[in-house]
Structure 1
Amino acid sequence: MTTDMRHAVVDVLEDADAVAMKMAELFISTVKDRPEGKVRIALSGGSTPKKLFAILARPDMARQVDWSRVELFYGDERYVAEGHADSNHASARELLLSKVAIPAGQVHPMPTTTTAKEDAALYQATLQKAYGATELEAGRPLFDLVMLGLGTDGHTASLFPGESVLEEKKAWVGVADPSTAPHERLTLTYPAIASSSLVVFLVTGDNKVPMLARLRQGDGSIPSGRIVSEGKILILADRAAAGERS
């Protein structure tokens, strides 16, 4: 059964640190709950994921993960050179990947070396190889876990308002070039995100109050409000984002 944003579960936590810790626990349980085969996880960029990466890199947390079975992908990436300060992969590599025993071949950064359109096709091919098919099949999710953020304009991943990638129905990876944010970007599309067992939004800060309210209503006029999943959708929000006073 497909879950839309109106049926997402909302968990309001004390602050951004608590959101990151809860996400770390979900990451660990996602791997543990699937004892066989690879566990495919799509990472997000942003400040709260950086806190998450630091937590997962701690020896007491890292040892709870069988990294040999984890296969990591990205929800989006800025089209910048490898190692650039704005790169989601560079942040993940510095804070997490360089500190845990995950095989290098199981980390799949979005390529940014030719053109965005060509690299989107290359990344789709990478996903198809991992999935073992060129078409998404109902009941066989591409991802076990997809992490997403929420922008103050309602975007998620790099699905920005007004971008043509919002209308993509078949491709798994697309290109966005938002006028409201720096850099051209690669992004997972709605069909790729929908092919998931669990989607988790990480939402922190009082500047997210208006958009979080719209997200929870499933407001289809904002890109994040159109997210669906074959499995479950969970929103992890801190009290500030939820509009709750301490």
Structure 2
Amino acid sequence: MTNERRVLVHPDQESLAGAVAARFITKTLDILDAQEIAHLSLTGGSMASAVLDAVWASPARTSLDWSRVHFWWSDERWLPDGDPERNDRQARDALLDRLEIPAEQVHAMPSADSGLDLDSAAASYAEDLARFGTDGLAHPVFDIAFLGVGPDGHIASLFPHRSGIRVTDRTVIPVRNSPKPPPERLSLTRPVINGSQRIWLVLAGADKASALGLALAGASRDEVPVAGIKGRRRTVFFIDQAAASEVPEELIAREY
């Protein structure tokens, strides 16, 4: 399949969340028709929670065999287990705890009260990824990787002008002195994210327009980390109208 990079614009945040949820269910059904297990990577933020809420609200969710899906995270805040600011807690509240998914298929990153330090936590998650490695890789190939994009263009916990976006010899890194609180985090590295079959970036709001426009115009990944993100098959930016003001017209898809 041709590697594509496209932008889909929706009128507002509510329609955006509903459209992504519908596509998520449909695409995961297709994936599970073709293979036994699906590996999906989740992200944090308000739009990510809105999408998962919309998945739960859709009657079509019952058509999926959720017991054949593994969930991972692209990054996590270094906070105690159950903290409402943790990405995994938000995803559990919005969807995962409402579904019948075997606990061992929900691969949360270690928490600050796990008994591990930050470096050991990164190594632990790397070991978990390696257990499901495919194609000679030390990690699973995600069938769909969801990402948000910050106003500064960061993805996962890979921030502008920081070394994280350039790391290629590890799958998981500890992040310290993050420009966005909390200061300590865990993050997948760019090669793991870019190894995904499909990357779906979901972003809304006028404050995201500049970073998105720069990324699509070919900015440096060091300056705008999202510019360095591209999935194996497709990279789709699902955005609302407010975020679309600086998107090149030729990249806006009229249909998916």
TM-score, structure 2 as length reference: 0.87
Is residue 237 of structure 1 aligned with residue 234 of structure 2? Answer: no
Measured against aligned partners, the alpha-carbon deviations of 1:178-219 in whole angstroms (never above 9, x if no partner) come to 442112111111110111110011110111111111122131
> Which consecutive residues of structure 2, in runs of 5 or more, have no partner in the other structure?
247-256
Q: Which runs of 5+ in 1 are unaligned?
A: none
Please tell me the root mean square deviation across aligned C-alpha atoms, in Å: 2.0
| Distance in 2 (alpha carbons) for counterparts of 1:177 and 1:25 | 36
Runs of 4+ in 1 over 4 A off after TM superposition: none
Correspondence for 1:129 among 131, 134, 140: 131
Query: In the alignment, is residue 15 of structure 1 matched against residue 35 of structure 2?
Result: no
The aligned counterpart of 1:146 is 145
SS at match of 2:85: coil
| Aligned residue runs from structure 1 range 189-208, under 5 A | 189-208=189-208
User: What SS does the aligned partner of 1:187 have?
Assistant: strand
Give CA-to-partner distance per residue, 1:67-107, whole Å, 9 cap, x none. 01111000110010001121000111111111112221111
Percent identity over the alignment?
32
Which runs of structure 2 are paired with 1:77-226 in the superposition (5 Å)?
A: 77-112=76-111, 113=114, 114-132=116-134, 135=137, 142-183=141-182, 184-220=184-220, 221-226=223-228
CA distance in 2, matches of 1:37, 1:128: 19
Greater alpha carbon shift after TM alignment, 41-50 vs 154-163: 154-163
Q: How does 1:40-59 map onto structure 2 within 5 Å?
A: 40-58=39-57
Question: Contact 1:62/1:100 (CA < 8 Å) preserved in 2?
Answer: no
CA 1:70–1:242: 2 relative to 1, 3 Å? same
Aligned to 2:251: none
Moved more, 224-233 or 67-76: 224-233
Deviation at 1:230, TM superposition (A): 1.7
- Give the secondary-structure state (helix, strand or coil) at the position aligned to 1:215: helix
- For 2:2 and 2:172, the matched residues in 1 are separated by 21
Aligned with 2:243: secondary structure? coil
Secondary structure of the corresponding residue to residue 63 of structure 2: coil
User: Which amino acid in structure 1 is aligned with residue 198 of structure 2?
Assistant: L
